[in-house]
Homo-oligomer: A and B are copies of this chain.
């Protein structure tokens, strides 16, 4: 794999990754990748990110089952962002149980309005005991 050489890694050694539903075009989330995550994403044909909070690889869907199967990977003009077109298994990308992480719409006063419903209870999704 030589995709890494086409990337302009940021000062933390990461590249921004946007995940988009390959069929509907809906933007699902934005996360980060280190070189290993990017290589594994291409090799395994599923989204693997780098968690900045956990400082570890984040195999999307490993807990929730909501894996993102890779359909297409694109790189932008200056090489500091990649676009993943994915098949979102389970139809849920967000840890809140919604399709997309962008479920809040700004109104003209700068307040946020929740527009998308919770499809699956996160407590159920992540097996949290209640």
In the complex formed, the residue of B with least CB distance to A6 is B112
Q: Which of B18, B72, B109 is within 8 Å of A18, CB to CB?
A: B18
Contacting residues, chain B, for A81 (C-beta < 8 A) = 30, 101-102
Answer whether residue A77 sits at the interface, using C-beta atoms and an 8 A cutoff: yes
Q: Tell me if A77 and B95 are in contact (CB < 8 A).
A: yes
Q: How many residues of A contact B (CB 8 A)?
A: 41
Q: Tell me if A18 and B30 are in contact (CB < 8 A).
A: yes
Bound CA span A94–B106, Å? 26
Kindly list 15 other residue pairs between chains A and B, CB separation below 8 angstroms, not including A75-B112, A76-B101, A81-B101: A1-B110, A2-B110, A3-B111, A18-B30, A20-B27, A24-B25, A25-B25, A25-B26, A29-B76, A30-B80, A30-B81, A39-B110, A73-B105, A76-B102, A77-B101
Could you list 6 A-B pairs, sorted by A, with CB under 8 Å?
A2-B110, A6-B106, A18-B27, A24-B25, A25-B26, A27-B27
Q: Give the B-binding residues of A (Cβ under 8 A).
A: 1-4, 6, 16, 18, 20, 24-27, 29-30, 39, 42, 72-78, 80-81, 83, 94-96, 98, 101-106, 108-112
